[in-house]
Amino acid sequence: MIPAVCALSLIPRAASHAPGAVLSGGAGAQSADAAGSVSGIAPAADLSEPELGFVLAHERAHLRRRDHIWKPLGWLLLSVHWFNPLVWLAYALFCRDVEYACDESVVGGLDADGRRAYARALLECSSPRRAAACAVLAVCFLTEPKPAEPALPEGLSLSEYEGDILCGGRMILPMVYEDMSSAPDYWRSSGVIADFNAAQCLRWEGEQIAEVLIYSNHMQIDNLGPVTGLSAPAYLTRNTYDLCTAAEAVGGEVPVSAYWCVYIAEPGASTGMLVSLEASRFSAEDPVRLAQSLSR
């Protein structure tokens, strides 16, 4: 019961709908996050689709930060030292900072329009009726933390990841290009399972992804086409990254890394899920199978 009590203090704030999440307008609906969240009762009737997206993204940030462990520990300490007003103050500030940290984690991947939408959703969720729905949905995520186990190819493992262009998630180890430390980590790893800004990075035709639009220095993207067999629209690309600048290159030749990338998102979602594997060791089918294992 401790995690449930702590979760009731949450007013979720931040950014987007997770691919594979299944929510219903009535009680008894089962919710599950394709990138490895949890299942529970989701009272979706009082929340719009964008608001649900903000709540889900905020709760996924809690799970990545292991807040479902730290907040109950804080509550336990408060229960022991209930007579000490400084402990009550410390716990209140701790809960505030936990929420701010999750907000920062998710909003960092939004553009100006996304941040305005986030602010509007925060105001909506602050009303008594909406706050109750948000709080119960938070309980569903934090009281049953059962991360999905992706079907990783043999010899690979996962590590928590945050930062850079991606909005956070898990990096696949081992590192393949360890000696190229000036490049971002996810350009040098075996791959990623991470969030990305779907609102900015995808072009849609109807309900299908038509193109991945990512432009960055030292990066080339080859659009290969839609992927079927997943719980949400998906698109396959081959991304190539320069691991250093021309000035840093030995002998004038710039070393590169290449990845098969599967971008997954629901139409209209602010954030989607990226699943990638390093191209020299894996085929284009491998990240697709990995993505399928996450959406079961």
Could you tell me the residue ranges of all domains in the chain?
2-142, 157-294
- pLDDT on residue 263: 95
Separation of alpha carbons 114 and 142, rounded Å:
25
pLDDT for 169 equals 77
Q: For each successive 10 residues of the chain (296 residues), what is the average pLDDT?
A: 34 34 38 38 54 76 83 89 90 86 75 73 62 53 53 87 63 86 84 87 92 86 93 93 77 86 90 92 94 78
Task: Write down the pLDDT at residue 164.
Answer: 52
Burial-class residue 267 by CB neighbours within 10 Å (0-12, 13-18, 19+): middle
Is residue 208 within 8 Å of residue 225, measured between CB atoms?
no
Provide the 3-class DSSP secondary structure of residue 60.
Answer: helix
Would you say the C-alpha torsion 246, 250, 253, 258 has a positive or negative sign? negative
Count Cβ atoms below 10 Å from residue 282 Cβ, excluding itself: 19
Report in angstroms the alpha-carbon separations of 11 from 110, 129, 233.
Answer: 19, 12, 30
Q: What pLDDT does residue 22 have? A: 38
Residues belonging to the chain: 296
Yes or no: say if 109 and 197 are a contact pair by the CB < 8 Å rule. yes
Q: Are strands 169-173 and 271-278 parallel, antiparallel or unpaired?
A: unpaired
pLDDT reported for residue 136: 52
Cβ–Cβ contacts within 10 Å for residue 187, how many? Answer: 23
**In terms of C-beta distances under 8 Å and separation of at least 24 residues, what long-range contacts does 203-209 make, across chains too?**
204/267, 207/233, 207/267, 208/233, 209/233, 209/234, 209/235, 209/263, 209/265
Give the model's pLDDT for residue 168: 65
Closest to 35 in 3D by CA, of 274, 208, 281: 274
Pairing, β 256-264 against β 169-173: unpaired
